[in-house]
Structure 1
């Protein structure tokens, strides 16, 4: 089963790679290309056991998504603010959810393994595409998936809403598998997740599994996870589940149902908006979460950290406390980009003059006067921007 899953993943990854390169948040045409940070174009080694074949890293855009400050290879903070607290993580982002202002970051675009924080991206496509009342029958493949499980069993009957609760509260890889199957299968779901990531501007993210388990080519970044959380925070269906403390999960066959509990470490924090933890041996610990304090909403993302000597949640809280202590007027070091506009579905997309002009865009118009008898020809040149779009 594992070999088949890896084969599907590798095939899909190759297909996604073939058409996925895109510039992000293009700066002025005269701006020099930013030099990529050494060793940050792909998650660090050694490879995970599941990363059975080498996969070419995603292209690094010429200009960093979110502005020049987001191209830092180290740490950056709002000018005139105190240094952020020391944290033992490889990368992080602290940003305002409403304005998108990034207050501080460490290696924000360094590619890391997201682990289960990738389930935020899955939750976005699930809530867009599946009816909560749809009934799904569990399979042996669901029940036998690796990693954390909510309790899906073969022959068990579950609504999409019940599976979604298991996905968020218990980080269930079994529920992720069942939801993906309901969406048309693993390859189709991965393609939907990749498309959603690009729409959000998350160009460091390539999902290799629907659950966040490690796989060939898997990557995301602290910046991308902040984009995902920002989108999640705008979906009441998701945040309501993130606030749920306990939930009755159905049984199957002769096994009775049981009460499942929310394990989010920020749950009891005043102003809690939502959060998602993650862990694999290769990714180490990851976390994304948000808090509202006196009407100011901040998100924190931390990646590739450890629980000792300071717990990840305490490191996240320290960064949030620092962020709330910064003045609201502090100049940002970058910006969480807005999602690309969705083109009208009933409007034909005109052919583009060059393959480099594709996807989300802004248009600029160049007018050229020609002819002696008031003949005016207007040539529209589309300058398309791809937004940089990670578990």
Structure 2
């Protein structure tokens, strides 16, 4: 495996450095790969096969959004042609984009983030010059972010031969995307209205475009019949395909701590299992953040990002934050069986959005303050 972010992250199995009195890792973790990290400092608190190259499913849409969001204005519109929707995989998740209808870029991004709509992805890709160009752009951005485990074949994350990513890389994509206000808005939107077909009003007999409600498929944000929304959750993206299984990257805040958790392909075949394992790791991370030594770091973009991280590791510092000196104790395995082999748009949800400081703060010790992050919770 790759050692980007630290040599310990290149080791197989569970990597964690518990201090005296630290809570043990949660039991019952069955994911093939997972990682818990501090979104601000970049410190990796614990990981399991962090650099395993696995099919990413729709979590790859985080890279798609991070790459293409700056290219189009939200109010820009596009009339969909049949060719825009060509090439979608069988059984693709769809938001309901129709040919011959016009959509705003804002509408299309809601379709990408809330419904994981491959149809919306393909339309935005067509606007970007087509699928091959979009794949090239995404791969170039992944390379810029030092996401060296990632190979992009399809922009929507649909299973394709050779398309892989890792828990480490998906976390990099989420962290980079969260620097963008639009990314934060869409990722934290619970419900929204999406344009439908044009029909005649029964009373006025005038043609009118209907809208229908869409709900975010991130169940830690919206909840489910067997799952409550997670306290402090603010995104990011889920996915599921035959080859990838269930995948998810989430960001959450409690107190002054902001964590990122990525979980890939739980072996336990239970409803919402990927969210349950994510919630367990969030709970552990918030309790253990000050009671562990980091096992690696989320590197900054560009060639200097890896070089700086390697220099820090050589000097005995991991993560770039205060008192994050690596100790010589061995990695501690997970306890027990835990090392498995309303109609609301973002503007209508209570609270604000992640408030990020200037990019210069990210360059200094790779610390990335997110002090203004406010929970986006569904209203009852």
Aligned residue-pair number: 285
Residue 190 and residue 226 in structure 1: after superposition, are their counterparts in 2 closer, same or farther (change >3 A)? Answer: same
Secondary structure, counterpart of 1:136 in structure 2: strand
1:139 shift after superposition: 2.6
Gaps of 5+ in 1: 1-35, 37-60, 343-358, 363-391
Moved beyond 2 Å, runs of 4+: 78-83, 139-146, 252-257, 327-330, 359-362
For 2:271 and 2:299, locate their aligned partners in 1 and report how far apart those are by CA, in whole Å.
34
For 1:141 and 1:164, locate their aligned partners in 2 and report how far apart those are by CA, in whole Å.
19
RMSD of aligned residue pairs (Cα, Å)? 2.1
For 1:200 and 1:296, locate their aligned partners in 2 and report how far apart those are by CA, in whole Å.
23
1:87 aligns with 2:29: yes
Query: Could you report, residue by residue, the CA deviation over 1:223-244 in whole angstroms, capped at 9, with x for unpaired residues?
Result: 0001111112222211111222
2:280 to 315, 318, 322: 318
Residue matched to 1:152: 97
Residue matched to 1:77: 16
1:141 shift after superposition: 4.4
Asked if structure 1 preserves the Cα contact closer than 8 Å seen for 2:38 and 2:260, the reply is yes
Residue matched to 1:386: none
For 2:100 and 2:164, locate their aligned partners in 1 and report how far apart those are by CA, in whole Å.
34
Q: How does 1:265-284 map to 2 (within 5 A)?
A: 265-267=219-221, 268-284=229-245
1:360 shift after superposition: 8.6
Query: Could you report, residue by residue, the CA deviation over 1:142-177 in whole angstroms, capped at 9, with x for unpaired residues?
Result: 556331001100101001111001000000000000
1:72 shift after superposition: 1.3
Q: How does 1:168-247 map to 2 (within 5 A)?
A: 168-247=113-192
Asked if structure 1 preserves the Cα contact closer than 8 Å seen for 2:115 and 2:214, the reply is yes
Secondary structure, counterpart of 1:178 in structure 2: helix
Residue matched to 1:52: none
Asked if structure 2 preserves the Cα contact closer than 8 Å seen for 1:154 and 1:252, the reply is no
Indicate the structure (1 or 2) with the bigger Cα radius of gyration: 1
1:116 to 49, 58, 63: 58
For 1:168 and 1:124, locate their aligned partners in 2 and report how far apart those are by CA, in whole Å.
12
Secondary structure, counterpart of 2:219 in structure 1: coil
Asked if structure 1 preserves the Cα contact closer than 8 Å seen for 2:238 and 2:248, the reply is yes
Gaps of 5+ in 2: 200-208, 222-228, 309-380
Q: How does 1:1-391 map to 2 (within 5 A)?
A: 36=1, 64-80=3-19, 81-85=22-26, 86-143=28-85, 145-146=88-89, 147-252=92-197, 254=199, 256-267=210-221, 268-305=229-266, 306-308=268-270, 311-328=273-290, 330-340=292-302
For 2:118 and 2:131, locate their aligned partners in 1 and report how far apart those are by CA, in whole Å.
12
Asked if structure 1 preserves the Cα contact closer than 8 Å seen for 2:85 and 2:123, the reply is no
Query: Could you report, residue by residue, the CA deviation over 1:240-296 in whole angstroms, capped at 9, with x for unpaired residues?
Result: 112222211112455833121122112132222212110111111000001001010
Residue 128 and residue 245 in structure 1: after superposition, are their counterparts in 2 closer, same or farther (change >3 A)? Answer: same
For 2:233 and 2:179, locate their aligned partners in 1 and report how far apart those are by CA, in whole Å.
14
Secondary structure, counterpart of 1:214 in structure 2: coil
For 1:309 and 1:257, locate their aligned partners in 2 and report how far apart those are by CA, in whole Å.
30
Asked if structure 2 preserves the Cα contact closer than 8 Å seen for 1:117 and 1:276, the reply is yes
Tell me: higher relative CO, structure 1 or 2? Use CA pairs within 8 A at least 6 residues apart. Answer: 2
Asked if structure 1 preserves the Cα contact closer than 8 Å seen for 2:300 and 2:306, the reply is no
Residue 325 and residue 168 in structure 1: after superposition, are their counterparts in 2 closer, same or farther (change >3 A)? Answer: same
1:132 shift after superposition: 1.6
